């Protein structure tokens, strides 16, 4: 794959990879977007210092919490992809936590990813549970979100509607399980470009989570919401468990992140990269379809903000970012998901 093979837009930031079609974007006379203009060597130096502070913060938090819960120290949202697998490895080997990994089977998990889930949890000696909604529920949810943007406009800047629906269920199921099992930590494998470091260690607040969940629920038609209710946090939990809402952590925001090194490390515990997923996923078979719909509908790739952030932070080269975003979506995988949804 070379840059000449890519569908790179004519108007694009000359420093990161954001296109001229990205909402609200502006460029200076040199073709540099307003987000890159805010960056400086001083800011990058402070970012390195902040990462060190967050590692110290997590060390202190784990020292305080480890072993205090009756069941597990942490529940980790585990897709079998490289980032969640590496997060699991980091938390197990670096901190020796008692972990339960929760996998949401959305009926589009790559067979290789399922193998990775089994191999990684066995090798790390981590308990594993899988939540699999009936196909009819998943089909109706993904079919709806493939046809309409039912969520708020800000969500469209960072994810496709299909992904927003899926990850919404994942986050709520994981948090609901943590509350029911009195688990003090919830872990996610967000990349450094997906979520800001400011949210990397955050005590969840029921007063904030409830309205966010209510807004998500209101996006669905009533009939479908009735079928999805069991995947949301019950209303009674916000009062019943208000004093034990867990901390959310996503440690990849402040630990060293290098995709090639991560994949090499994961090979030592049996992880393999699937060959049937797109350039922005290592576990999901509907992602290419979701990406194409988003690009066709809005004119920009749903992962471009995440990857542009990583390019801006120096975690990924600009050429690598261009390949991830502007490689044409795999037509075979797009057709596979489209036909499966019917």
Question: Could you report the per-residue pLDDT of 159-203, keeping only the tens digit for each?
Answer: 999 999 999 999 999 999 999 999 999 999 999 999 889 999 999
Q: What pLDDT score does 41 carry?
A: 52
* pLDDT confidence band for 117 (50 / 70 / 90): very high
Instruction: Return the percentage of the chain with pLDDT > 90, whole number.
Output: 91
Residue 102 φ then ψ, to 5°:
-110, 125
Average pLDDT over residues 219-240: 96
Average pLDDT, the chain: 94
Question: Could you report the per-residue pLDDT of 316-335, keeping only the tens digit for each?
Answer: 999 999 999 999 999 999 99
Positive or negative, the CA dihedral 208, 56, 265, 183 is negative
Residues 6+ apart with CB under 8 A from 180: none
Would you call 28 helix, strand, or coil by DSSP? coil
Cα of first residue to Cα of last residue in the chain, in angstroms, is: 32
Residues 6+ apart with CB under 8 A from 3: 319, 322, 323
Q: What pLDDT score does 1 carry?
A: 62
Q: What pLDDT score does 171 carry?
A: 97
Average pLDDT over residues 139-148: 97
Per-residue pLDDT at 45 exceeds 80: no
Beta bridge partners of 101: 76, 128
What span, in angstroms and rounded, lies between the C-alpha atoms of 291 and 338?
12
Average pLDDT over residues 61-78: 97
Average pLDDT over residues 54-62: 97
CB-count burial class (<10 Å; 0-12, 13-18, 19+) for 296 = exposed
What span, in angstroms and rounded, lies between the C-alpha atoms of 33 and 3?
21
Residue 31 near residue 13 (C-beta atoms within 8 A) = yes
Cα 277 versus chain centre, distance: 15
Instruction: Return the percentage of the chain with pLDDT > 70, whole number.
Output: 97
What span, in angstroms and rounded, lies between the C-alpha atoms of 82 and 259?
8
Per-residue pLDDT at 2 exceeds 90: no
What span, in angstroms and rounded, lies between the C-alpha atoms of 266 and 166?
25
Average pLDDT over residues 123-137: 98
Which strand (E) or helix (H) includes residue 233? none
Per-residue pLDDT at 215 exceeds 80: yes
Three-state SS across 119-157? Answer: HHHHHHCCEEEEECCCHHHHHHHHHHHHHCCCCCHHHHC
Q: What pLDDT score does 252 carry?
A: 96
Positive or negative, the CA dihedral 236, 239, 243, 246 is positive
* pLDDT confidence band for 46 (50 / 70 / 90): low
Positive or negative, the CA dihedral 75, 80, 82, 88 is positive
Q: What pLDDT score does 196 carry?
A: 86
Per-residue pLDDT at 40 exceeds 70: no
Average pLDDT over residues 33-38: 91
In angstroms and rounded to an integer, the radius of gyration of the C-alpha atoms of the chain is 20
Average pLDDT over residues 19-41: 90
Which strand (E) or helix (H) includes residue 87? helix 82-95
Residue 102 near residue 80 (C-beta atoms within 8 A) = no
Fold of 51-341: Rossmann fold (3.40.50)
Q: Work out the number of other CB atoms within 10 angstroms of the CB of residue 50.
A: 15
Q: What pLDDT score does 333 carry?
A: 95
What span, in angstroms and rounded, lies between the C-alpha atoms of 138 and 217?
15
Residue at token pair 């967000």: 190
Average pLDDT over residues 74-99: 98
Q: What pLDDT score does 284 carry?
A: 97
Per-residue pLDDT at 217 exceeds 80: yes
């Amino acid at each position: 794959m070379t840059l000449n093979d890519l569908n790179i837009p004519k108007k694009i930031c000359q420093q990161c990879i954001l296109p001229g079609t990205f909402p609200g974007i502006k460029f200076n006379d040199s073709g540099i977007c307003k987000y890159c203009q805010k960056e400086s060597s001083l800011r990058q130096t402070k970012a390195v210092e902040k990462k060190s502070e967050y590692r110290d913060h997590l060390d202190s938090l784990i020292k305080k919490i480890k072993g205090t819960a009756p069941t597990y120290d942490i529940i980790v949202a585990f897709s079998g992809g490289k980032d969640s697998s590496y997060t699991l490895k980091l938390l197990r080997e670096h901190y020796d936590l008692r972990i339960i990994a929760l996998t949401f089977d959305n009926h589009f998990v790559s067979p290789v990813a399922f193998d990775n889930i089994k191999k990684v949890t066995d090798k790390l000696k981590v308990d594993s549970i899988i939540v699999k909604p009936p196909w009819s529920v998943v089909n109706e949810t993904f079919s709806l979100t493939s046809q309409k943007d039912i969520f708020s406009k800000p969500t469209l800047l960072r994810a496709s509607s299909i992904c927003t629906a899926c990850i919404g269920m994942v986050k709520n199921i994981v948090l609901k399980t943590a509350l029911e099992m009195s688990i003090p930590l919830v872990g996610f494998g967000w990349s450094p470009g997906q979520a800001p470091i400011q949210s990397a260690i955050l005590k969840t607040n029921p007063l904030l989570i409830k309205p966010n969940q209510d807004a998500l629920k209101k996006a669905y038609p009533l009939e479908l919401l009735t079928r999805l209710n069991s995947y949301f946090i019950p209303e009674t939990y916000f009062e019943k468990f208000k004093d034990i809402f867990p901390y959310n952590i996503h440690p990849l925001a402040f630990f060293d992140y290098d995709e090639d090194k991560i994949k090499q490390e994961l090979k030592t515990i049996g992880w393999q990269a699937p060959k049937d997923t797109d350039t922005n996923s290592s576990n999901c078979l509907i992602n290419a379809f979701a990406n194409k719909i988003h690009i066709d509908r809005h004119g920009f790739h749903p992962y471009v903000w995440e990857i542009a952030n990583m390019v801006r932070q120096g975690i990924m080269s600009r050429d690598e970012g261009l390949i991830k975003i502007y490689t044409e979506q795999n037509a075979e995988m797009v057709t596979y998901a489209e036909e499966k949804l019917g």
